[in-house]
Structure 1
Amino acid sequence: MTLTDSPALREATGPRLGLAHLLRLRSHPDTHTAWLRERYGEVYTLRVFGVDMHVAHGPDAFEQVFVNRDKVFASGPAWSHFIGPFFHRGLMLLDAEEHLHHRRIMQHAFGQDELRRYHRLMLPHLRRHLAAWEGVENPRLQQMFKALTLDLALEVFVGVDLDDAQRRAVNRDFVDAVRAGTAVVRRPLPGGVGPWSRGLAARARLERFFREALPAKRREGGEDLFARLCAATDDHGNEFSDDDVVDHMIFLLMAAHDTTTTTLTSMAYQLARHPRWQDRCREESLAAPEPDVVGTADLPSLDLVMKESLRLCAPVPSIPRIATRETSIGGYRIPAGAFVTTSPYTNQHDAAIWPDPQRFDPERFAPHRREDKAHRLAFQSFGAGVHKCIGMHFAGMQVRAVLHELLTRYTWSVPPDYRLPIDLTALPVATDGLPVRLVVRTGRST
C-alpha cells in the first residue's frame, strides 16, 4: 500500500490565506495560531507568498522536519523561494554534500580561539558606542542596538572602515534585502519601485562592496571573519572561491546583526519591565572581572534571561522546508514538492510544553526546573539538525558582551503598562524602536 493510499493519513486543510489572515498572524501570532490549530488541527495548509504552505505545529513536527533523519526535507529550495535573489548561496540555502562541504570550511572561522579573537576586536568599539549613548535624547534601544551590531559586525566580520553615511547605506541595503523576502509582488516593477526591486538593487550594491574589498583581504589577511573565510580550508585543503566568500559574507553579515539586534531588544525590554532581574544581572556583571566570552559560567543570570528572551521572541519566527518526496507529518499527508514550515516563535509559546507561556520567567531554564527538557526540541531558537545556526556561539558571545557592558554603565526602564509592539513581517521588529528611560549609573567605574 502506498503512502497516499494509507487510510490513517489525512489531508492538511485550511483557509487560503488572504490579507486578513496575514495581518492577524503578523500582529497576533499566538492568538491567531491558536484559533487556526483549534479549527484545523496540528497541520493545515495556508496560501502565502504564492505557494501552498503546510504549517506543522509542536516539537515532534519540528524534530521530524529539521533533524530530518529520513532526508526528506530540503532547506535550500525553500529559503531560495523567499530570499534566494538577495542571499543566494548563503549557508542555509545549501543542502546535502554541498552544505556539509561549505559548513566544514566555515566552521574553522567560529572556533573558540576565533571567538576570543573577535571579542578582543569588538570590545573597544562596543565601549565607544555605549559611552556615546549618554547624550542620546529619547533613546530607542532597538534602533541603537541595530546601529551598534552593524558597527560591530563590520569591524569583527569585515574589517573595513566606513564613515557614518556608508554605514547607514549598508544598513539600509540589509533592511531592504531582508524585507524583500516577504514581498507580496515577487518580481521587479517598472522604475525600481516595490520591495522586490529594492531588494535586488540592495543585493547588487552589497556584492560590489565585498568584491571591491576582497582582493586586498586575500592579499593582506587579518583577524576579521572576512579574512578568515578568505584563508579558511577544510581538512583536504579546499578553500572558498571569490563568489563563495562574497555570498557567505552577505548572508553572515545579515544574520550577525539582524538576529542579534532582535535578541538584544527582547532582553533589554524584559530587563526594563523586570527590574529585579536587571539588578540581579547587574550584580553578577559588577562582580565579574571579565565575562567568559565562550561559556556562560561568569554570568549565569544573564544566560537565563537570554534563553527566556529567545523563547518569547525567536529571532527567526518561521523556518521553511520543501518535501523532496511524499511523506507525512502527524498523520497528515505531505505531497512531494510541498512547502512545509514550523514556527519556533509559536512553538515556544505552547502551553503543553511551557506552563504560563506568555510570562517572563527565566528560572524555567534553571537547573532545578529545566522546562526546556520537556522535549529534546522544546527550545528551538537556533534550529536543529545539520542546519542548526553555525553562528550561535558567536551570537551568544556578542549578546553577553553587549549586555554586560550596558548593565555596568546604565540602568533603563519603561512605564509599567508598556508592552513592546512587534512586527513579524520578516524578522521580529519593534515598531516603536523600544523607547526607554536610560540613566547613567552613579558611582560606576570608568
Structure 2
Amino acid sequence: MPTISATDYWLDQAKRRLKPTPVTIPGMGAVEKRLKNTEWDQFVFAEPPAGSGLKAIKGDAGLPVIGHMIETFRGGPDFILEQYRKHGPIYYSQSPALSAVMALGPDATQAVFTNRNKDFSQRAWDPIIGPFFDGGLMLLDFDEHLFHRRIMQEAFTRSRLSGYVPHVDSVATRVLANDWVPNDPRFLFYPAIKELTLDIASEVFMGHPAGTDRELVTTINQAFTTTTRAGNAIVRKPVPPLTWWRGIKARETLEHYFSSRIGEKRRSESTDMFSVLCHSADEDGGSFTDDQIVSHMIFLMMAAHDTSTSTMTTMAYHLAANPQWQDRLREESERIGDGPLDIEALDKLETYDLVVNESLRMMTPLPFNFRQTVRDTELLGYYIPADTAVVTWPSINHRLPELWTDPEKFDPERFAEPRNEHKRHRYAFAPFGGGAHKCIGMVFGQLEIKTVMHRLLRRYRLELPKAGYTPRYDYGGMPVPLDGMPIVLRPLR
C-alpha cells in the first residue's frame, strides 16, 4: 500500500463532498492550489426562534481537520474578501482553531464595533491570546473596560505624547546611524524595524535609556516577541517546548520584570509610560493595582511595537516602489530639517499622514477583530445564539471597489480633499478598530511612525531589491512578510 502525507489523505477524503466553483486565492502554494474550484457543502448554523423574523446563518466546515486554515493563512484578507463576495456579510465558518460567525463588510463592522446593546464581548480573545495578555485593555469589557481606559488615558494626553517624542527621536536617530546597513540588497527591513520599535518601546514605555542594560533589554524584547507569536500556535496547550508553552513562560518573565520594578516607579515619577501608569488616576481618584499595571504594560508593549513595525514595513515597500511619493515626503521633511523633533514639527508632516493612512489601508496590521455574543442577538437581520464567537475583518472594507477607487493601487491622495474616500462610510477605513475599543494608542503610533520615517528618509533613499519585487505574507496573525522584506538603503550624502 502506498504511503501518503496527512494533508494528501484529508484532501482525498474531502473530495467526496466537493463541487466546482471558480475561486482565486492569491499566493497559494502547490498543495493549496488543489483547493481551487471547490465549494463546500453548506449547513444551517442555528435556527432562529419561530416567529422572530430573523434569518438563519449558513456555514461550511472546509476541509476535515484543517478547515479553511490554509486559505486564511495564505490568502488572508484576499480569501476573506472572496468569501464576502460568495456568501454575503454574515456566514458561519467552522474551524479547528476558532469556529465563528464572520461579520463582513462596513455595515456589519459598524454594528459590531458600535455595540449599542452591549451584545458583543471581548471574551472571544481569551482562547487566542488570553494566557499571554490577560488583563490587557483589549480583553476587558463594558464598565471594567471604561474604568481602566479612563485611567490609562492619562498616558496618552497631548502633553504626555509631547514628552515621548524626544525619546522616540533619540533612539531612531542612534539606531539608523549605527546599526542599519546601507547598499546591501540582503538588508531585511522587517526584522530591523521590529528591533528598532522594541528599542523605542523599551525607552518610552519602560524607561530604559537607549544603549543601557542591553542584556536585560534584549531578554525582555525576546519575551515580547515570543508572547506575540504564541497566539498563532497550532497546539494550544502548555506542552514543552512548543509555542504555547513558550508564550506562557515568556509571560512569566515579563510579569517578574514589571512586578519587581513597580515599587521604584511608584516612589519616583518620570516621563516613561510605566511610571505614568503607576501614578495615574481617574477623576474619582481610582487607580491601578500592581497586578493591573503589570497586565497593562505587557499588553501596551506588544500593541505599540507590533502595529508600528507592520505599518512602517508596508510604508517602506510602497515608498521604494513609488519613488515619486518618497520624493514628496523628503521635500516635506526638508522644510523641518534635521533639528530635534517635537510634536508641533511632526504635525506639519501632513503628506506623511496620507502615506501612513494608505499603508494602513493596503496592509492593515490587525486585519481582524474577535467578539463573543453575551446573549441571543441579531446582526443585520440574522440570528446569532449566545456564546458565539464573531469575527470582523475591517481590512476587507479597505479593499472594496464600491468604497475605494482602484483599491489595489497605492494612492495616498484618496485620503485628501476633495476625494476623502475614507469618508464614504463610517467604517470604510477602520485600521484602529472602532467604538469603545478604538485603539487608545493610535496617535502615539502615528507620531512614532512619522518620527522614524522622517529620520530614515533624511538619511537614505529606499529602493526595491530588484525590479518588479512584490512581497508575500504570512497571515497567521498580524501580516508578516515571509522573506523579511528586503529593501536597499542608498545613502543620500
- TM-score when normalising by structure 2: 0.85
CA contact (8 A) 1:112 1:294 kept: no
Counterpart position of 1:28: 75
Counterpart position of 1:148: 196
Counterpart position of 1:293: 343
Counterpart position of 2:316: 268
In structure 2, the CA distance between the partners of 1:412 and 1:259, relative to structure 1 (3 Å rule), is: same
Counterpart position of 1:65: 112
CA contact (8 A) 2:197 2:305 kept: yes
Aligned residue runs from structure 1 range 27-426, under 5 A: 27-75=74-122, 77-133=123-179, 135=181, 137=184, 138-160=186-208, 163-189=213-239, 192-289=240-337, 293=343, 297-414=347-464, 415-426=466-477
SS at match of 1:13: strand
Q: Which amino acid aligns with 2:127?
A: H
SS at match of 2:333: helix
Q: Which amino acid aligns with 1:426?
A: G
CA contact (8 A) 2:397 2:427 kept: no
Pairwise CA distance, 1:389: 0.3
Cα distance in structure 1, aligned partners of 2:312 and 2:50: 46
Asked if 1:13 is matched to 2:59, the reply is yes
SS at match of 2:378: strand
Cα distance in structure 1, aligned partners of 2:75 and 2:180: 35
In structure 2, the CA distance between the partners of 1:234 and 1:264, relative to structure 1 (3 Å rule), is: same
Pairwise CA distance, 1:294: 6.4
Counterpart position of 2:17: none
Cα distance in structure 2, aligned partners of 1:297 and 1:121: 17
CA contact (8 A) 2:125 2:371 kept: yes
SS at match of 2:94: strand
Cα distance in structure 2, aligned partners of 1:200 and 1:220: 31
CA contact (8 A) 2:66 2:95 kept: no
Cα distance in structure 1, aligned partners of 2:255 and 2:179: 32
State the Cα RMSD in Å: 1.9
CA contact (8 A) 2:463 2:488 kept: yes
**Sequence identity percentage:** 41
What are structure 1's unaligned runs of at least 5 residues? none
Q: Which amino acid aligns with 1:235?
A: E
1:99-145: per-residue Cα shift (whole Å, max 9, x none)?
11110000011000000100122222211111114546532111111
In structure 2, the CA distance between the partners of 1:103 and 1:216, relative to structure 1 (3 Å rule), is: same
Pairwise CA distance, 1:50: 4.2
In structure 2, the CA distance between the partners of 1:184 and 1:91, relative to structure 1 (3 Å rule), is: same
Q: Which amino acid aligns with 1:126?
A: A
CA contact (8 A) 2:151 2:280 kept: yes
Q: Which amino acid aligns with 2:445?
A: A
Pairwise CA distance, 1:184: 2.1
Pairwise CA distance, 1:171: 2.5
Cα distance in structure 2, aligned partners of 1:53 and 1:295: 45
Cα distance in structure 2, aligned partners of 1:63 and 1:117: 34
What are structure 2's unaligned runs of at least 5 residues? 1-47
Q: Which amino acid aligns with 1:47?
A: Q
Pairwise CA distance, 1:6: 2.7
SS at match of 2:265: helix
In structure 2, the CA distance between the partners of 1:372 and 1:292, relative to structure 1 (3 Å rule), is: farther
Q: Which amino acid aligns with 2:132?
A: F
Cα distance in structure 2, aligned partners of 1:134 and 1:427: 24
**Which structure has the larger Rg?**
2
Pairwise CA distance, 1:220: 2.2
In structure 2, the CA distance between the partners of 1:16 and 1:114, relative to structure 1 (3 Å rule), is: same
Pairwise CA distance, 1:166: 3.1
Report how many aligned residue pairs link the two structures.
Answer: 438
Cα distance in structure 1, aligned partners of 2:96 and 2:259: 32
CA contact (8 A) 1:49 1:182 kept: no
